[in-house]
Amino acid sequence: MSANELTSGDFTERNEPFDLFSEWLKEAEASEINDPNAVALATVDEDGLPNVRMVLLKGFDHDGFVFYTNFESQKGQEILGQKKAAMCFHWKTLRRQVRLRGPVEAVTDEEADAYFKTRARGSRIGAWASKQSRPLESRFALEKAVAEYTARYAIGEIPRPAHWSGFRLRIGRASGSGRCRSSSGRTRSSACMIVSSFAGLRRKAIGRRFACIREALSSCLEQTETEYRRQGRTRTAPFDRDR
């Protein structure tokens, strides 16, 4: 069996999609050539026009999926305005995707500070110097800003800029497993998590379709047999529907 085939432990049998996400991310860390935590982040503007770009997932747990950015950027402004977003991970080597959507909120200052401290010095300076999403006056203007902030924070800690922080896309635990099992009738809620493996999903969809057809056929056959018996006919005798 190939590594990306689902087994009996797949999402349709899981009550806990977060554990499965964690396993898949670990597998992706081993198999992807770079950025296994890269995720497409979709937001909408005030007119409902969608926007999508890549970000890096920096943490996840039952409270949600966290990434960091400049809050003055387009994505920052759209999330602050609409308070919702969607994510899509795609791990080509595993032929899997994970889709998430739900309400978004800012992480706490403590969380953002703690993460900011872990960033390389250049990235921390960059957070001050970069005007994400806004047009660059010139390359020189950016280099000048980098030089200025490098000089300003030459000694000591580099504080986190107020406009740089993290967002958490919230996924309710119940709705996560609920969405995964929605095909068998469980409820959906505003936040949802959809996990899929192309190979596994195709097999399962085909399997489900056959099961439906088999069920319909056998119920049809049963009705026919009952009718035959009622009419005192044998199975091979033609069934006269008009009688």
In the bound state with ligand FMN, the residue whose beta carbon lies nearer, of 40 and 199, is 40
Least CB distance to ligand FMN at residue 132 (A):
5
Measured from the CB of residue 192, what is the shortest distance to ligand FMN in angstroms? 23
Residue 231 pairs with which residues in a beta bridge?
Answer: none
Contact 172, 189 (CB under 8 A): yes
User: Which is closer to ligand FMN, CB of 73 or CB of 196?
Assistant: 73
Closer Cβ to ligand FMN, 73 or 175, answer by number: 73
Positions that interact with ligand FMN (CB under 6 A)? 35, 38, 51, 53-56, 67-70, 73-75, 132-133
Is the Cβ of residue 55 or residue 146 nearer to ligand FMN in the bound state? 55
Q: Is 119 left (phi over 0), alpha (psi -120 to 50) or beta?
A: beta
Smallest gap from Cβ 133 to ligand FMN, in A, equals 3
CB of 52 vs ligand FMN, minimal distance in Å: 8
Would you say 92 or 229 has its CB closer to ligand FMN? 92
Spatial CA neighbour of 177 closest among 4, 19, 67, 23: 19
Q: How far is the CB of 31 from ligand FMN (least distance, A)?
A: 17
